[in-house]
Structure formats: C-alpha cells, structure tokens
Chain A
Amino acid sequence: MNRQLILLTLGLILTIPVFQTPIFSRYFKPLQGLHVVKKLPLNMVAGSTYKWEASFVNPKSEEGLMNITLEVTEKKTLIGFGEFHVEGTLESYDNPPRKHYKSTLTFTEKNKNGIGIFQNQTSIKERFNDITLRISSVPNLMPGTYTFTLTVTLQYKT
C-alpha cells in the first residue's frame, strides 16, 4: 500500500510539469481566440520598425498571468544579441461599458540555447486584449528569411 502511495505521489509530481509543456498546452488548452489583427509585412527592410498586432479573448473572467514570448529565427544565420529590439503595448477592454486600458509591454532579451528570445510577463484581467509589438532590427542585419514566433500563455490561480 505504501509503495502504491509513493508511486501515485511520484506520478502526481511528474505529471504536472509534463502537462505544462507547450506540446500538451497546445492541445489541451489552446488559446483559440488568438489571432492576427495586423500582419507583419512579408518583405521587411533591416533597420526599420514594423508593427505586429494580435488579439485574444481572456478565457476566464479573472486575473491571470500572461507570458508573451517572441522568438526570431533564421535558417542560415545565427542571430546575435541586440540585433532586434521589441517594444509593445497592451490594450484591454472589459465587457460593456467597455472601459479601455492601455499599458506598455517591456521586453527583455534572454538567452535560450544561444538564441535571443524576447519575454514579457504581465497580469491581465480584462476580457478583450490586443497586443501590439513594434519590432525593429539593426541596419546591418544580415538579409535573409526570418521567422517570428509569438507565444502567449495564460496562467490562473484557480
């Protein structure tokens, strides 16, 4: 009986982090409302700033912790630290009478396996949320095909 209890406890402990990985999150709790409002242009110029706007509906009517991650990759080139710069704003609206909130999202570039990723953590509680990212690069960025991946995760206390 003790052995079974230990196994069960161990299973519980292990299961939580396993299920928290993006693979499981993607399928078990997709943030289905996340969609692009303003597209990034398919052709960009190094040194310039471009807006990328995405919107989503808060799945719960309670305060949650939002993690935004922007990852930039290029097939042939390793992107150096400081080659991109990201700023953002969060605009939120609640249910009618639709009060409007606007806040600045500050992104910090962090090292992830030698690649810089941009992260921001903000709490949200309104129903409708609109994220606007302003992505700029250094003028001497190596020309190429770059992929921008925006990941939004929401975590609630309950």
Chain B
Amino acid sequence: MQRKKMLIAVLAMALLVGVVTAAIPWFGQINVTTTISQAVLVDGKSYADMPIEEMATVAGGESFCRAHYLTSRTSVPVTLQFETSSSPASNEIHVTYLKPLGYEFTGTSYEIVVGQYYPVGITVEDGECKVTWTFDMIAGKTLVGDGHWGYGLAISLDGTNAAFQIHNNDGTDAKYAWGTHLYSEYTDTWHTGWNGIPPRTANNIPVADLSWVTCTGDRDIGDNPDGIFTVTISKCMLGEDFHWAVWFGVGGFYAPNNGYSSYPEGFMWQGTVDSYYVLANLAEVLTLPLTLQPKERLDFYICYKFDPLIEAGTYNIYTTIKPA
C-alpha cells in the first residue's frame, strides 16, 4: 500500500514538473541607465540655472537690455513660453522679448555741396544689446593742419519726427567744453545750441551722465589722430525700428579738406524725418509661444523698462523659459 502511494506521488511529481516546465515562459531582460538632459538650453545652461534673474535698483524711467540665446538640442520642434515676474511685484516694469535682425550699415557720408566733398566712413553695427555708429573722419585722406571735427547723430523713433540728437559740442553751448559729447532732446525744435538754433535755448545733457549711451572720440586731431568717433546706444532706447541721419563738420585743416559741412545740400535740421534719414530695422518682438526648430539657435534680448512712476527701490526680476 505504501509503495503504491509512493508511485502515485512520484507520478504526480513528474506530471507537475512537466506541466510547470511547459508553463514557464522563456524570459530575457536587458536594461540601460542613461542621463537625459534638457531639450532647450538658455545661455547654454539647463533648468538648474534658471530662471534668468536680474536685479535692478531704480528710481523710475530707467531701462536696460540683456542679451540671451536659446539652443535647441532636440530632433523635434519645441514650443516655448516666456514668463517674467518680479519681487516685489510691480506692474510698472515693462518687459519686451526681441529678436535682433542683424542690422548693419556701411557707407560714406553724403555728398555735400558740389566741390566740397569730404567723405566720412560710416559703419553701423548691431551689437549685443547696443547699436554702435563708427565715424571715420580721416577715411584715407591726408590731412594737413591742426584741425577738428564735429558730428551730430539724429534719431527718430516714430519715423515722423526726430526724438533726440547725440553730438559733440562745437562751442555754441558755453556750459560745456568744446568737444563734449552731448544729448539733446527734440521737442518743437532742436536745443543743441547750434545748427542755427540760438545758443541760449540750448538744453543739452552730457552723455557721460546717461546710462544708455556712450561716445568716444576727441574733437581735435591732435587728441584723436585716427579720427575715429563712436556713438553707442542701448537697443532698448531704439525699439524695433528707427530712423537716423548724421551731419559732419570739418575745420582747421589746410585746403582741400577744410571748412566743410558734410551733409546733402538740401538737408535741413528741422527735426522732420525726410529722405535723408536711413531706416534701420533693428528687431522684431518675439511672438509667444515661440517654436524653436530642431538644433536651432535663437539669439534674443530682453528690454526691461521701468515706468517713471515706479516706486523707487530694488527689484528682482525673474524670467523663465520653458517648453509650453
């Protein structure tokens, strides 16, 4: 009886093993651990370094510009959203995201009165957050004598009327030394103290007192033997597009390069934009949400403008850029 039970048990076990073996599936497994990094980098950095953070101590009316770039590392288009907030929160901080269009200009000054041509090399460069005009007063000429130069760069922001002028004092504004780089706002007329405007109405501000514009270049050739002048203006003061015109004055050299005012014969400093003004398409406002194509790099800049009525103080401004 015992032997019979054993036989049954063995048979049952054999059956069990057979069934179980057949029922066990064949099994294979492989794994890999990989690091997945961010699809879009901001200024070459990932989320850990975001958001873009700016701190500004303001009294009202200021503006500043910061250049950044996005890099897509993916193989698919990525839609991005921008958000800016501040601490303390304020509705008086106006933020614009702009894409530079790579504006540039290379040429010489306008032909002047017949027989009095004094070409000046003009270069305009779209830099990082700023636009720079370079005036080459010598431009290959051989000048004899202890001469001097003047310039006046007029800017129109609305395409109709001039907004302001940057110039170097030719002595008509007695408050400042000759050659001082000055800013003059255009209202009903120019207040530069020159170009036919009575000196007493001059209302100039030294460029050195302004944060958004810088100038270089001495008036006299003795101090400026290369004859180079530069005017650099923050892009946040120029908007998406603007018009510009420039005037040059030359004096103190021996003939034939003396006594000229290098602008077209018909050019008038009336503060109205005419055909002598040059249109500069500087930037376009980013349309949000923004789609970044695979492997695309997008350069952009952020303009921060503080309302004149903003409560004075220090503000921390945060901008986050994330896939939408």
Chain A residues with a Cβ under 8 A of chain B: 1, 4, 8, 11-12, 15-16, 19-20, 22, 24-26, 28-36, 39-49, 52, 54, 56, 59, 64, 67, 136-141, 143-156, 158
Contact = CB atoms under 8 A, between A and B. Distances in A.
Nearest to A32: B28
A11 B16 contact: yes
- 5 nearest interchain CB pairs? A31-B28, A47-B74, A34-B28, A25-B27, A140-B323
B24 A24 contact: yes
B28 A56 contact: yes
27 contacts: A12-B12, A20-B23, A20-B24, A29-B26, A30-B26, A30-B28, A34-B30, A36-B32, A39-B32, A40-B32, A44-B36, A44-B37, A45-B38, A45-B39, A46-B37, A46-B38, A47-B78, A54-B30, A59-B26, A137-B36, A138-B323, A143-B35, A144-B35, A146-B35, A147-B34, A152-B27, A153-B28
Interface string B88-105: 000000000000000000
B79 to A, nearest CB: 8
A141 to B, nearest CB: 6
Contacts of B31: 147-150
Contacts of A11: 16
B74 A151 contact: no
A30 B25 CA distance: 9
A105 to B, nearest CB: 16
A30 B27 contact: yes
A44 B39 contact: no
A46 B24 contact: no
Contacts of A48: 39, 73-76
Contact of B23 (A8, A19, A140): A19
Given A11-B16, A20-B23, A153-B27, A148 B39 contact: no
Interface in B1-53: 5, 9, 12, 15-16, 19-40, 46-47
B33 A16 contact: no
B25 A20 contact: yes
A87 to B, nearest CB: 14
B305 interface: no
Given A54-B30, A139-B40, A139-B323, 14 more contacts: A12-B15, A25-B27, A28-B21, A28-B24, A30-B28, A31-B26, A33-B28, A47-B73, A48-B74, A139-B39, A143-B38, A144-B35, A148-B34, A154-B25
B75 A145 contact: no
Interface of B: 5, 9, 12, 15-16, 19-40, 46-47, 73-76, 78, 322-323
A80 B107 CA distance: 58
Contact of A47 (B5, B22, B27, B76): B76
Given A12-B16, A45-B39, A46-B39, A147 B76 contact: no
A111 to B, nearest CB: 20
Contacts of B39: 45-48, 139-141
A43 B35 contact: yes
B322 A140 contact: yes
A47 B29 contact: no
B33 A35 contact: no
A67 B16 CA distance: 25
A46 to B, nearest CB: 4
B24 A25 contact: yes
Contacts of B15: 12
A30 B323 CA distance: 43
Contact of B34 (A15, A30, A146, A156): A146
B156 to A, nearest CB: 42
A19 B74 contact: no
A29 B9 CA distance: 25
B29 A151 contact: yes
A8 B12 contact: yes
A26 B29 contact: yes
Nearest to A75: B33
Contact of A43 (B34, B46, B74): B34
A136 B34 CA distance: 13
B46 A145 contact: no
A151 B28 CA distance: 6
Contacts of B74: 45-48, 139
B29 A139 contact: no
A22 to B, nearest CB: 6
